[in-house]
Amino acid sequence: MFETLTHLQLQQYWWVIVSVLGAALVSLLFVQGGQTLFNVIAKNEDEKTLIINSIGRKWEFTFTTLVTFGGAMFAAFPLFYATSFGGAYYAWMAILFCFVIQAVAFEYRRKKGNFLGKRTFEVFLFVNGSLGVFLLGLAVASFFTGSEFTVNEYNQSVWQNKLLGLELLFNINNIALGLSLFFLARVLGAQYLINNINDVLIRQRSRKQVYINSILFLIPFLFFLISILLTQGFAYGNDGVVYLEKYKYLHNFIQMPLVLGICIVGVLLVLYGMGISVFKNSIKGIWFSGIGAFLTVFALLLVAGLNNTAFYPSMSDLQSSLTISNSSSSHYTLTAMSYVSLFVPFVIAYIFFAWRAVDKNKISHEEIKKDEHIY
Amino acid sequence: MIEKIDLSLVDWSRAQFALTAFYHWFFIPITIGLTYMVAIMNTIYVKTGSEEWKRITKFWMTLFGINFAIGVATGIIMEFEFGTNWSYYSWFVGDIFGAPLAIEGIMAFFLESTFIAVMFFGWGRVSKQFHLLSSWLVAFGASLSALWILVANGWMQDPVGMTFNLDTARNEMTDFWAVLFSPIAINKFLHTIASGFVIASLFVVAVCAWYLLKKRDLVFAKKSMIVGAIFGLISSLFLAFTGDGSAYWVAQKQPVKLAAMEGLYNGKTDAGLVAIGVLNPKKKIGNNENEFLFKVEIPKMLSLLAYRSSKAFVPGINDFVNGNEEYNVEPTLSRIDKGKKALNALITYKKAVKESNTSLAEESEKVFRENYRYMGYGYFKNPKDVIPNVPFIFYSFHVMVMLGFYFIGLFLLILFLLFKDKIQKYKWLLRIGIFSFPLGYLASQTGWIVAEVGRQPWVIQDLMPTMVATSRLQTTSVMITFWLFVALFTSLLIAEIKIMLTQIKLGPESKKGGSNV
Segments making up each domain of chain A, as ranges? 7-370
Q: Which of A110, A155, A358 sits opposite B122 (nearest CB)?
A: A358
Per DSSP, B272 falls in state: P
pLDDT given for residue A76 in this prediction: 94
CB-based contact (8 Å) between A153 and chain B? yes
Confidence of residue B512 (pLDDT cuts 50, 70, 90): very low
pLDDT tens digits for range A41-80 = 999 988 998 999 999 888 988 999 999 999 999 999 999 9
Confidence of residue A355 (pLDDT cuts 50, 70, 90): confident
pLDDT exceeds 60 at position B155: yes
pLDDT tens digits for range B283-323 = 988 888 888 999 999 999 999 999 999 999 999 999 999 99
For B:339-398, CB contacts with A below 8 A are 346, 350, 354
pLDDT given for residue B511 in this prediction: 54
* Pairwise pLDDT comparison (A60 vs B431), residue with the higher score: B431
Confidence of residue B124 (pLDDT cuts 50, 70, 90): confident
CB-based contact (8 Å) between B219 and chain A? no
Query: Residue length, chain B?
Result: 517
**Mean pLDDT for all residues in chain A:** 92
- Shortest distance between the Cα of B121 and any Cα of chain A, in A, equals 7
Q: What percent of chain B has pLDDT over 90?
A: 79
Lowest mean pLDDT among A264-273, A349-358, B503-512: B503-512
Give the mutation candidate from A355, A373, A374, A375 for the B interface (greatest B CB count, under 10 A): A373
CB-based contact (8 Å) between A92 and chain B? yes
The type of residue at B8 is S
- Shortest distance between the Cα of A246 and any Cα of chain B, in A, equals 31
All residues of chain A having their beta carbon less than 8 Å from the beta carbon of residue B101 are 70-71, 74-75
- Shortest distance between the Cα of B125 and any Cα of chain A, in A, equals 6
Interface predicted TM-score (ipTM) of this complex, two decimals: 0.91
Listed residue (A98, A86, A74, A89) closest to A18, CA to CA: A74
Per DSSP, B214 falls in state: T
List residues bridging with B276 in a β-sheet. B296
CB-based contact (8 Å) between B492 and chain A? yes
For B:102-121, CB contacts with A below 8 A are 102-107, 109-111, 113-118, 120-121
CB-based contact (8 Å) between A82 and chain B? yes
Lowest mean pLDDT among B53-62, B116-125, B130-139, B227-236: B116-125
The answer to whether A347 contacts B512, with C-beta atoms less than 8 Å apart, is no
All residues of chain B having their beta carbon less than 8 Å from the beta carbon of residue A81 are 82-83, 90, 94, 98
The answer to whether B488 contacts A344, with C-beta atoms less than 8 Å apart, is no
pLDDT exceeds 60 at position B134: yes
CB-based contact (8 Å) between A2 and chain B? no
Nearest residue on chain B to A94, alpha-carbon basis: B481
The answer to whether B91 contacts A157, with C-beta atoms less than 8 Å apart, is yes
pLDDT given for residue B1 in this prediction: 53
Give the mutation candidate from A93, A136, A341 for the B interface (greatest B CB count, under 10 A): A93
Helices (H) and strands (E) in chain B, counts: 17, 8
CB-based contact (8 Å) between A373 and chain B? yes
Nearest residue on chain A to B495, alpha-carbon basis: A114
All residues of chain A having their beta carbon less than 8 Å from the beta carbon of residue B61 are 373
Per DSSP, helices labelled H in chain A are: 7-27, 30-41, 45-56, 59-76, 78-80, 86-87, 89-108, 118-127, 133-145, 172-196, 200-230, 248-255, 257-279, 285-305, 331-341, 343-358, 365-370
The average pLDDT across B245-266 equals: 94
CA-based torsion, B114, B119, B121, B124: positive or negative: positive
All residues of chain A having their beta carbon less than 8 Å from the beta carbon of residue B474 are 162
All residues of chain B having their beta carbon less than 8 Å from the beta carbon of residue A106 are 69
CB-based contact (8 Å) between A112 and chain B? yes
CB-based contact (8 Å) between B510 and chain A? no
CB-based contact (8 Å) between B51 and chain A? no
- Shortest distance between the Cα of B12 and any Cα of chain A, in A, equals 15
Task: Tell me how far the alpha carbon of residue B167 is from its chain's centroid.
Answer: 34
- Shortest distance between the Cα of A26 and any Cα of chain B, in A, equals 17
| Alpha-carbon span B419 to B401, nearest angstrom | 28
Q: What percent of chain A has pLDDT over 90?
A: 77
pLDDT tens digits for range A126-153 = 999 999 999 999 999 999 999 999 999 8
Nearest residue on chain B to A83, alpha-carbon basis: B87
Domain ranges, ordered by start, for chain B: 7-163+474-517
Q: How many other β-carbons are positioned within 10 Å of the β-carbon of residue B268? A: 16
pLDDT given for residue B490 in this prediction: 94
pLDDT exceeds 60 at position A33: yes
pLDDT given for residue A365 in this prediction: 77
pLDDT tens digits for range A279-338 = 998 999 999 999 999 999 999 999 999 999 999 999 999 999 999 999 999 999 999 999
CB-based contact (8 Å) between A209 and chain B? no
The answer to whether A81 contacts B126, with C-beta atoms less than 8 Å apart, is no
Listed residue (B163, B233, B192) closest to B410, CA to CA: B233
pLDDT tens digits for range B85-94 = 999 999 999 9
The average pLDDT across B342-366 equals: 94
A366, exposed or middle or buried, with CB in 10 Å at 0-12, 13-18, 19+? Answer: exposed
Q: Which of A86, A358, A361 sits opposite B87 (nearest CB)?
A: A86
pLDDT exceeds 70 at position B3: no
pLDDT given for residue B517 in this prediction: 31
List Cβ neighbours of B460 (8 Å cut-off, separation of 6 or more): B89, B92, B93, B156, B159, B171, B376
Task: Tell me how far the alpha carbon of residue B255 is from its chain's centroid.
Answer: 18
pTM: 0.92
In this structure, are residues A138 and A105 in contact, taking their beta carbons and an 8 Å threshold? Answer: no
The answer to whether A93 contacts B494, with C-beta atoms less than 8 Å apart, is no
pLDDT exceeds 60 at position B372: yes
Side-chain-side CA neighbours of B156 within 13 Å: the count stands at: 29
The answer to whether A115 contacts B114, with C-beta atoms less than 8 Å apart, is no
Q: What are phi and psi of B298, to 5 degrees?
A: -100, 115
